[in-house]
């Protein structure tokens, strides 16, 4: 009676299933290259969809606020879209004049800046010329080789062909944004209906809802912060004595560049140096616009954004640079705009999935 019962043998048919075989490394590399090439080759289709999703995420929190006021979703989406188009159109009309003036005066302004820079580095150039003359005399070179400079004129036919494509892409982005705002929830329900059981549907619905809310909050918050940075820079430029239309132009450029961390800041500092040397004669005064932009960018990046968004949205600077390089190489300026939201979306998805939290921490 006191003897212990023998352990029951595990039947052969209830043995644990064999682990799924892993794909060879070469196959994984080839699949990655194929996906990358597809993203690059199909960018004319992918980019309008991603931009529309980006704009829809910006508008979703506003739409939810209007729905709480008993406004139907269709009407709320139309109001948000029309308001965004009206604001963008008014801003474009306001900035068209200063932008065209800068484009027309760019050659003359660049020559003026080059003369100022040459005056600053003239002693160094003289020393280099003297060293080159001494080297040619020592080497017995009496004549320089003739260099042929070739110029290439832009084909006006390409411009005419490119314009309808850009207009069609812009119209596609507007229509897709409206459809994502109105029918995005229905699309989620139809996707959930494809899942086999109720537990998976509930779990997936919670993940999609939390990710959509957090991404919408992140995109809207970043957009508001960037707009405030642009307005602050425009106000600083006005205080420095730059005309209001030009200040609004460069404030808008700074707001757009702020969507691309690090890379946008470097471009913005270079542009502010250009503006400073064009607007001011004194070299020290010419650096003030760049210093103002650097101060605002540092304040926003080190204090405002971390406090507002918190730790959950933090991304490693190394991962940010790699994402900017990858998406900038794939899709150009639009890729730089979408790199950070896509990386944040990937991190939130990995955080919600079991067993993938380690990959999410890798992005921090």
Q: Is 305:228 a contact under the CB 8 Å cutoff?
A: no
Up-side HSE of residue 199: CA atoms within 13 Å toward CB? 0
Is the per-residue pLDDT at 126 higher than 50? yes
Please state, in angstroms and rounded to a whole number, the distance separating the CA atoms of residues 234 and 4. 84
CA distances from 87 to 80, 82, 92, 171, 336 (A): 11, 8, 9, 17, 23
Average pLDDT across the chain, whole number: 77
φ/ψ of residue 353, rounded to 5: -90, 135
Phi, psi of 230 (to 5 degrees): -65, -40
Nearest C-alpha neighbor of 48 from the set 196, 154, 220, 176: 176
Residue the block writes with tokens 């199909």? 42
Per-residue pLDDT band at 232 (split at 50, 70, 90): very high
pLDDT digits (tens, 9 = 90+) for 255-274: 888 888 778 888 888 888 88
Among 236, 240, 294, 303, smallest CA distance to 266 is for 294
Instruction: Give the pLDDT confidence of 18-77 residue by residue, as tens digits.
Output: 555 566 777 777 888 888 888 888 888 888 888 888 888 888 888 888 888 888 989 999
Query: Does the structure show a pLDDT above 50 at 242?
Result: yes
Cβ burial 280-301 (10 Å sphere, 16+ → b, else e): beeeeebbbbbebbeebbeebb
Q: Considering only residues 249 and 14, tell me which one the structure prediction assigns the higher pLDDT.
A: 249
Task: Locate 306 and state its tokens.
Answer: 């971390």
Q: Please report, rounded to a whole number, the percentage of residues in the chain having pLDDT higher than 70.
A: 76
Average pLDDT over residues 160-164: 63
CA angle 215, 218, 221 (to 5 degrees): 145
Mean per-residue pLDDT for 130-144? 57
Q: Which residues of 244-279 are buried (b: 16+ CB within 10 A; e: fewer)?
A: eebbbbbbbbbbbbbbbbebbbeebbebbbbbbbbb
Given the structure tokens 């961390």, which residue do they identify?
261
- For residue 129, the model assigns a pLDDT of 67
| Spatial separation of the C-alpha atoms in residues 305 and 259, rounded to whole Å | 12
For 174-200, how does the pLDDT look when each residue is reduced to its tens digit (9 = 90+)?
899 988 888 887 887 887 788 888 887
Q: Residue 149 phi/psi, 5° resolution?
A: -105, 125
The lowest-confidence range among 130-134, 214-218, 338-342 is: 130-134
The pLDDT of residue 10 is 47
Residue 3: pLDDT band with limits 50, 70, 90: very low
Q: In this predicted model, what pLDDT tens digit does every residue of 270-297 receive, in sequence order?
A: 888 888 888 887 778 888 899 999 999 8
Cα–Cα distance between 318 and 310 in angstroms, integer? 19
């Amino acid at each position: 009676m006191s003897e212990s019962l023998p352990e029951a043998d595990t039947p052969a048919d209830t043995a644990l299933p064999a682990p799924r075989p892993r794909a060879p490394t070469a196959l994984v590399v080839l699949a990655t290259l194929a996906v990358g090439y597809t993203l690059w080759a199909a960018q004319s289709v992918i980019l309008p969809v991603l931009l529309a999703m980006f704009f829809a995420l910006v508008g979703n929190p506003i739409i939810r606020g209007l729905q709480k006021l008993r406004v139907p979703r269709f009407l709320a989406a139309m109001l948000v879209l029309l308001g965004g188009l009206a604001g963008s159109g008014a801003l474009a009309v306001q900035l068209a004049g200063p932008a065209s003036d800068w484009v027309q005066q760019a050659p003359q302004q660049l020559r003026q800046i080059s003369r100022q820079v040459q005056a600053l580095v003239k002693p160094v150039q003289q020393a280099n010329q003297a060293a080159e003359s001494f080297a040619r005399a020592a080497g017995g070179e009496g004549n320089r080789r003739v260099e042929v400079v070739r110029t290439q004129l832009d084909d006006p036919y390409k411009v005419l062909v490119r314009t309808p494509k850009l207009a069609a892409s812009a119209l596609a982005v507007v229509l897709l944004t409206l459809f994502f705002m109105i029918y995005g929830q229905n699309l989620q329900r139809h996707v959930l209906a494809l899942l086999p059981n109720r537990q998976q549907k509930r779990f997936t619905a919670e993940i999609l809802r939390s990710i959509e809310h957090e991404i919408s909050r992140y995109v809207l918050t970043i957009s508001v912060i960037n707009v405030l940075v642009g307005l602050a820079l425009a106000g600083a430029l006005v205080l420095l004595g730059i005309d209001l239309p030009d200040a609004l132009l460069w404030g808008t450029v700074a707001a757009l560049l702020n969507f691309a961390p690090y890379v946008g800041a470097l471009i913005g500092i270079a542009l502010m140096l250009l503006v400073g040397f064009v607007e001011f004669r004194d070299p020290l005064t010419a650096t003030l616009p760049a210093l103002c932009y650097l101060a605002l960018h540092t304040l926003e990046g080190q204090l405002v954004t971390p406090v507002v968004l918190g730790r959950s949205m933090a991304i490693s600077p190394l991962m940010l640079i790699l994402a900017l390089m990858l998406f900038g190489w794939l899709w150009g300026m639009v890729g730089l705009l979408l790199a950070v939201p896509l990386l944040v979306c990937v991190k939130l998805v990995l955080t919600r999935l079991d067993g993938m939290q380690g990959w999410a921490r890798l992005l921090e």
